[in-house]
């Protein structure tokens, strides 16, 4: 019997990379690998990279440099780089770090078993193609092991929006939607293994249009309604969305589909029409606010989340104040904000950049406003009843932690709850980034 080999995957970035890492581990399981918790234990290390954050490629090169000692101590150790930095950097990774054995882009990781086999024979392997075949169709069936109560499920990849700051169209490719029957099959499999909540993933997930069960293209709303027919699937979420693709049927689903949770991440990036145009966002401040109004009319208790970039090239103080005013008007329960950082090859990289000190000051101000809003919305939850899907034990003995309908972390004292339990909870306290409650 062949000896089991050990695989360590370090995942950077978004939920889609978390999903991809799971599928990579499953693909390599057929080659005799099992996952371990540390790089020091591994026979193969995979860095599943993200190209969104500042100096992403340099951070990966630094991480690889720190692994040289492991490679020296174990010459047979295989090191691979996957994901969006792999797609963007390609052969440059191997040139700068010759100890890397394989580089694979996010659309080619279904080929990992063959690549690993070649690397095992001493070859250097590079695959950053955008293959015509469907990687999801060619991946091995998911193993039947027990799963936690929540899971990610990729339904759409790529983006056709070409925002001026973003590398996703270049690293993930054009928008592609998976067929409905394959999504339903994977969802049923996950539910059979214990999953009670699915988060549907896509770079632009609400642009989903996949081949439906009737042979016609189905939008995301129809896919959600079909998933809602799975009895033991209790909750559905989706991320990340574009304001221009919040269609009437999707907004209606938020109002009528009981399994679709009252939480929506809808990035706007800026509150200035001038900057939105420079970003090539293809929406305006007013069109975004109209979408928000329609969503809140359909689902008044919905919690909204957003993304904001400060210090975008040519952003003035007036532009920044427009963003602050939009945040105040919307009232976000959660939001993510970043300083703009250049991405080579994107249009914005060629423009005049904002002084870093100014960008930092703006980031501090916007984050303080978002934090105040988040805390106010959490405080307003005290006394209310919410559904909570419990996921794991808390840090204190006798404590369980789960996520509310609105994606708040909720702690309760209980010796009887177990992961996967969905219970009604009354909120009794608001803490930093979490709530406390009692089970009803």
CA atoms within 13 A on the CB side of 117: 8
Of 365, 360, 359, which is closest to residue 325 (Cα–Cα)?
365
**Are the beta carbons of 238 and 279 closer than 8 angstroms?**
no
C-alpha–C-alpha distance, residues 136 and 178, integer Å: 8
> Phi-psi category of 399—alpha, beta or left, where left has phi over 0 and alpha has psi -120 to 50?
beta
Residues making up the annotated binding site for [4Fe-4S] cluster are 14, 50, 84, 159, 163, 166
C-alpha 82/C-alpha 224 separation (Å) is 30
- Binding site as annotated, residues: 14, 50, 84, 159, 163, 166
List helix spans (H) across 271-316. Answer: 273-279, 285-298
What is the spatial distance between Cα 308 and Cα 288, in angstroms, rounded to a whole number? 13
The sign one gets for the Cα dihedral 318, 320, 326, 327 is: negative
Answer yes or no: are the C-beta atoms of 390 and 418 closer than 8 Å: yes
Tokens of 308: 């904001």
- Identify the sign of the CA torsion 389, 390, 394, 399: positive
């Amino acid at each position: 019997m062949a000896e089991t080999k050990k695989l360590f995957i370090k995942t950077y970035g978004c939920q889609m990379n978390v999903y991809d890492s799971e599928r990579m581990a499953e693909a390599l399981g057929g080659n005799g690998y099992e996952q371990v918790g540390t790089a020091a234990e591994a026979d193969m290390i995979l860095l599943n990279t993200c190209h969104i954050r500042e100096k992403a490629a340099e951070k990966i090169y630094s991480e690889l440099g720190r692994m040289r000692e492991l490679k020296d101590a174990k010459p047979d150790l295989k090191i691979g780089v996957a994901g969006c930095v792999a797609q963007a950097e390609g052969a440059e990774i191997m040139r700068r770090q010759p100890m890397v054995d394989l580089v694979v882009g996010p659309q080619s990781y279904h080929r990992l078993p063959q690549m690993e086999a070649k690397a095992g024979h001493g070859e250097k392997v590079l695959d950053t193609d955008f293959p015509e075949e469907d990687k999801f169709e060619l991946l091995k069936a998911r193993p039947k092991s027990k799963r936690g109560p929540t899971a990610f499920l990729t339904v759409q990849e790529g983006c056709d929006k070409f925002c001026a700051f973003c590398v996703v169209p270049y690293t993930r490719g054009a928008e592609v939607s998976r067929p409905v029957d394959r999504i339903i099959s994977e969802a049923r499999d996950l539910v059979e293994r214990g999953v009670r909540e699915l988060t549907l993933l896509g770079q632009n997930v609400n642009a989903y249009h996949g081949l439906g069960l009737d042979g016609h293209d189905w939008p995301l709303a129809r896919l959600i309604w079909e998933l809602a027919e799975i009895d033991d699937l209790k909750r559905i979420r989706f991320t990340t969305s574009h304001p221009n693709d919040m269609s009437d049927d999707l907004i209606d689903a938020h109002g009528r589909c009981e399994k679709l949770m009252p939480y929506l991440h809808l990035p706007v990036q800026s509150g200035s029409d001038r900057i939105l145009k420079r970003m090539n966002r293809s929406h305006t401040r007013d069109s975004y606010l109209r979408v928000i109004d329609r969503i809140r009319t359909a689902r008044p208790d919905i919690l909204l989340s957003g993304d904001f970039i400060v210090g975008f090239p040519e952003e003035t103080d007036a532009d920044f104040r427009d963003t602050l005013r939009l945040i105040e008007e919307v009232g976000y329960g959660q939001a993510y904000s970043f300083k703009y950082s250049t991405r080579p090859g994107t249009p914005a990289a060629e423009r005049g950049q904002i002084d870093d000190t100014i960008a930092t000051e703006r980031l501090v101000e916007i984050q303080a406003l978002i934090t105040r809003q988040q805390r106010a919305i959490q405080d307003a939850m005290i006394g209310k009843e919410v559904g909570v899907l419990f996921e794991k034990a808390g840090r204190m003995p006798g404590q369980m932690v789960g996520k509310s309908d609105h994606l708040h972390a909720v702690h309760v004292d209980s010796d009887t709850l177990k992961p996967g339990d969905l219970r009604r909870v009354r909120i009794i306290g608001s803490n930093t980034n979490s709530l406390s409650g009692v089970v009803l």
